[in-house]
Structure 1
Amino acid sequence: MKFTRAICIALVIVLVSSLDLTSAAVEEEIKVACVQTELIPCFVAAFIGSQPSAECCGKLKEQQSCLCGYIQNPTFGQFIKNSQNVFTASWHLEKMIIHVNLTQDNPMPLEAGRTVDLTYSVNWIPTDITFARRFDVYLDYPFFEHQIHWFSIFNSFMMVIFLTGLVSMILMRTLRNDYAKYAREDDDLESLERDVNEESGWKLVHGDVFRPPRGLVLLSAVVGTGAQLALLVLLVILMAIIGTLYVGRGAIVTTFIVCYALTSFISGYVSGGMYSRSGGKHWIKCMILTASLFPFLCFGIGFILNTIAIFYGSLAAIPFGTMVVVFVIWGFISFPLALLGTVVGRNWSGAPNNPCRVKTIPRPIPEKKWYLTPSVVSLMGGLLPFGSIFIEMYFVFTSFWNYKVYYVYGFMLLVFLILVVVTVCVTIVGTYFLLNAENYHWQWTSFFSAASTAVYVYLYSIYYYYVKTKMFGFFQTSFYFGYTLMFCLGLGILCGAVGFLGSNLFVRRIYRNIKCD
């Protein structure tokens, strides 16, 4: 039993620390108990009652605390030792240890040549918690199930109702009036000119709205990757709801890596189909970029952070064997599936089948007011989606950086679905206003309009770092913002793909019902 072994090792360490011994046998026994710990020399020096060396003090100061009970006094800057150790062990009637808690008391300064009497006691407390529910002690129910969490879900749900109503109004009222106007065949020249000047002009760009955008290969790659990430997040959340992924160490990360490799077919299928329907010819380039763009972005960030961790001698460094395993999974599972998906999507999508014929000469885009430019539409498009996940981001960041166990995956599923709906609705509205301004460059604008949600999340992470955490130094800062950047890249690609696909359906739907000359 792991828990039984842990309590036995802890008791052995305390027993050894209560003796005034300096023999090599004691050092060897302590080394066995503290195996795979980079502060073994410091532990040995502490247990035998001597003053740690300068190197050990440096490591202790860097780590701020150690398992043997030495901590740095924040007021005087000296190391102190808690001489009283109280173990509280909760046990079930099935003779299983459920929980062990260590309470330290009676701090004493660590001085050279001073003899410290170390004592310990063990309290055995029966509990009704079964072995299968032993992890519940680490779940902070009042924090995660606070009424503000429920209020945020309700607030986001009301936002969804408002936005879906707005989109429905555009589709059912505004577009219906536009269809009626454009369908009239008996208008005289004066009334037609008045309609063109007074009404919206999205119909006027019908000959350019399906023109392939610049950077079609890159757009197809990020849209395919985003579609895969959307499915991946949904699968992982459902698996977390059904099972208990928060129990095992690294279970969430392992599940993400495996599911990402197995869902790579989706990215290739969406990317290949989109590239083929847009008339692209360099499908191999599109396939390679789709399969390698996001993994290599994450690899680049991870490599930099891993180099920093190795330089600082931190245990946060990823072992070389783990990196090899991840690369093998990508090379032998993810990449072939992306290749297969690209071939299938390219062959099944068929030739370009746009509702309106693309004209040979591009139509000039008239100058409009500043708030109808693509850059402003893109920046404004991420505000409402960010508002729908703002509260949940606080809980996610607190779980990841403040060592709380996130377990309310039902909330996360609702927030994710709300995010998808809000992103689609906001992007459709932005695309409609852009087309009304007779700007037919809607493809990249719709993607960036949805992807800008990640920009606001990253700005929020800066606020969270300085206000909600007590991190400092280059090592902690680089890890915080490095992993947050990796998260925001994935979130931006996911939201961008969702927004683009929603806008694409909207554009094809409205131009399908007009008369294209």
Structure 2
Amino acid sequence: MDPRILDLFCFWLLLSSLLRLCSAISSASDHRYALGDLVPFYANKVGPFQNPSETYRYFDLPFCPPAHVTEKREDLGEILNGDRLVHAKYELNFRQDKPLQSLCKKTLSVEDVRIFRDAVRKDYYFQMYYDDLPVWGSVGEVVDSSGRVHDRRYFLYTCVHFEILYNEDRVIEIGVATNGETIDITEDKDVVVEFKYSVKWKETNKTFERRMDKYLQQSFLPQHVEIHWFSIMNSCVTVLLLTGFLTTILIRVLKNDFIKYSCDEEIADDFDESGWKYIHGDVFRFPPFKSLFCAVLGSGTQLFMLSIFIFMLAIIGVFYPYNRGALYSALVIIYVLTSGIAGYSAASFYKQMDGVYWVGNLILTGGLFCVPLFLTFCFLNTVAIGYKSTAALPFGTILMILLIWMLVTSPLLFLGGIAGRNSTADFQAPCRTNKFPREIPQLAWYRQTAPQMILAGFLPFSAIYIELYYIFASIWGHKVYTIYSILFIVFMILVISTAFVTIAFTYFQLSAEDHEWWWRSVLCGGSTGVFIFGYCFHYFFARSDMSGFMQTSFFFGYMTCVCYGFFLMLGTIGFKASLLFVRHMYQSIKCE
């Protein structure tokens, strides 16, 4: 088969998946049922409540499995989310009450008792889906009357009570209660247990369109909305201060510089030429490691566009609560489709810098973010396989992702690179570059790279610090984040403050006659990612109860990749803002 046909087919497949995602419909069904219809009911997973990444298949615990366990066919996002849905043995027919009845009766062996007791000790929860509505319950409880470990008693819940609300022919809400009948599993001995369940239906006036409102109670509304707005106001004040600070530089300092540097030669002889004009012959000298520099810009531009598209989908309501795997599907699809942007941006800058090894530059661009992410994934997936967790991706899914990368991502990357290489003019510098670089004077310690990175990263980080907790609690906890409009405002504040701060530090650097600003602007702009990584330690050890090797590995492994992505994205924003500023400065004076 012609490779181009394969590429077109994969592109169409990804685009159609994105269109289905944007429809914000959880299944193809219209969710309408007649009296007695069997409503889809799936058991999903179990795991420690405090460790959201450590999840296992529902029937890894010795519950009552059906005679033949039938798995639901899942899409890519559900698999990436760790969902492993199987048909449950419960029969919850539409609008049919059921009194307490037996699900199954079995004898738990000593090994089964130990498995359940370990689950109860670790505060396991289970998750199910009924007509695409999530439902949770606890596996058991620990009774500690004396406060001593050896006096603790472990009880397994054996009865599940379902209460379901309906409106005409649609399911609106489902709740579950498990704290009824229990059985003591403290001792290592065989136990005969009978698992039971009951179903109660009630009518409600709530419409089908509002059935997800219940899950907003697990979000940060309304009790924390004032804190969100306080965070935004605090961030806006920060941005206003930065804007005023930058405006002062542009209007007062630069104005005086322009007057000084634009005066007649006779008057100019009375001045000692110093400051940023003194290095006009070196300020547009291309940085070392040009290929790596352009790869950073290409990857950063792609990640920025990825963020913008994700926010667009979020604001129009695609990522409603518990839309299984929608965010992960969107991340994969949009990242693949924006790889052409990375190739175009990297190749265009590389050509402007007179680069010749453009194929190698595109390969470096394509692997700059993907390779560290893939290596991290390989390690974490191995850990998940060792734990037999649902977080481990099946081999078929891994193979599909690799095929998408080879058949779609790589061609789009090179097509974007070819377009960027062929449509970009030479770099137009306002000043002619000297043949030999000027020696940089000895700089004070606070003008070095590390201190400037600390100062440049602290200000944007302070603007998003409050919002970070809610984001982390959603990703690494059981809260639901729904106020994406506020999050988008905070993101734009982060972008603007990063650009302003980087411009300010670039001006200070040039005023000190240090012309090596190219990499410095990337490092200062991206330093906020380092602060976010530092916040990860604070959140993990001070604000969460996560524990265990697997959860720790997943948290720090994936958050390292996220912070690295922020470094690339914000570093690119910092450089591009500084480039516009530096061009404006040197275009406003006579440099020859």
Instruction: Tell me the TM-score normalised to structure 2 length.
Output: 0.77
8 Å Cα contact 1:449/1:499 also seen in 2: yes
Cross-structure match for 2:200: 123
RMSD: 2.8
Query: Does 2:325 match 1:253?
Result: no
8 Å Cα contact 1:268/1:340 also seen in 2: yes
8 Å Cα contact 1:90/1:126 also seen in 2: yes
Matches for 1:95-106 after TM superposition, within 5 Å: 95-106=170-181
Q: Which moved more, 1:61-70 or 1:445-454?
A: 61-70
Aligned equivalent of 1:57, options 111, 114, 132: 114
Write the deviation string for residues 28-82 of structure 1: whole angstroms up to 9, x where unpaired: 63664899689x9xxxxx9535334336624762664365964362745553123
Structure 2 unmatched ranges of 5 or more: 1-28, 44-62, 73-83, 89-102, 127-136, 145-150
CA distance 1:84–1:338, change in 2 (3 Å): closer
Cross-structure match for 1:175: 254
Cross-structure match for 2:234: 155
| Aligned-partner SS, 1:105 | coil
CA distance 1:115–1:423, change in 2 (3 Å): same
Q: Distance in 1 between matches of 2:308 and 2:370?
A: 19
Q: Distance in 2 between matches of 1:149 and 1:462?
A: 22
Q: Distance in 1 between matches of 2:157 and 2:165?
A: 23
Query: Does 2:337 match 1:262?
Result: yes
Q: Distance in 2 between matches of 1:308 and 1:343?
A: 40
Write the deviation string for residues 120-163 of structure 1: whole angstroms up to 9, x where unpaired: 54333322222333222112377244201011111111222221
Structure 1 unmatched ranges of 5 or more: 11-25, 41-45
Aligned equivalent of 2:542, options 467, 483, 498: 467
User: Structure 1 residue 474: deviation in Å?
Assistant: 0.8
Q: Distance in 1 between matches of 2:141 and 2:39?
A: 25
Aligned equivalent of 1:232, options 294, 302, 306: 306
Amino acid in the other structure paired with 1:369? A
8 Å Cα contact 2:104/2:195 also seen in 1: no
User: Structure 1 residue 306: deviation in Å?
Assistant: 0.3
Which contiguous aligned blocks of 4+ residues in structure 1 show a shift greater than 6 angstroms? 1-4, 6-10, 33-38
Q: Which moved more, 1:141-150 or 1:58-67?
A: 58-67
Query: Does 2:270 match 1:211?
Result: no
Q: Which moved more, 1:371-380 or 1:452-461?
A: 371-380
8 Å Cα contact 2:460/2:498 also seen in 1: yes
Aligned equivalent of 2:519, options 444, 453, 465: 444
User: Structure 1 residue 311: deviation in Å?
Assistant: 1.0
Query: Does 2:386 match 1:311?
Result: yes
8 Å Cα contact 2:153/2:184 also seen in 1: yes
8 Å Cα contact 2:303/2:565 also seen in 1: yes
Q: Distance in 1 between matches of 2:391 and 2:569?
A: 28
8 Å Cα contact 1:225/1:290 also seen in 2: yes
8 Å Cα contact 2:461/2:531 also seen in 1: yes
User: Structure 1 residue 9: deviation in Å?
Assistant: 7.6
Aligned residues: 491
| Aligned-partner SS, 2:156 | strand
Query: Does 2:434 match 1:359?
Result: yes
Amino acid in the other structure paired with 1:172? I
8 Å Cα contact 2:172/2:206 also seen in 1: no
Query: Does 2:166 match 1:91?
Result: yes
Cross-structure match for 1:294: 369
User: Structure 1 residue 503: deviation in Å?
Assistant: 0.6
8 Å Cα contact 1:7/1:100 also seen in 2: no
8 Å Cα contact 1:87/1:103 also seen in 2: no
Cross-structure match for 1:324: 399
Matches for 1:190-209 after TM superposition, within 5 Å: 191-193=270-272, 196=274, 201-209=275-283
Aligned equivalent of 1:71, options 140, 143, 150: 140
8 Å Cα contact 1:447/1:500 also seen in 2: yes
Cross-structure match for 1:484: 559
Q: Distance in 2 between matches of 1:336 and 1:54?
A: 53
Matches for 1:447-458 after TM superposition, within 5 Å: 447-458=522-533
8 Å Cα contact 1:99/1:134 also seen in 2: no
Percent of pairs with identical residues: 36
8 Å Cα contact 2:172/2:207 also seen in 1: no
Q: Distance in 2 between matches of 1:27 and 1:165?
A: 66
Amino acid in the other structure paired with 2:257? D
User: Structure 1 residue 220: deviation in Å?
Assistant: 0.5
8 Å Cα contact 2:108/2:192 also seen in 1: no
Cross-structure match for 2:216: 139
CA distance 1:457–1:229, change in 2 (3 Å): same
User: Structure 1 residue 449: deviation in Å?
Assistant: 0.5
Q: Distance in 2 between matches of 1:73 and 1:173?
A: 68
Write the deviation string for residues 336-367 of structure 1: whole angstroms up to 9, x where unpaired: 12112212222222223211111111101111
Write the deviation string for residues 207-261 of structure 1: whole angstroms up to 9, x where unpaired: 1111111111111001111111111111111111113223421111111111111
8 Å Cα contact 1:65/1:72 also seen in 2: no
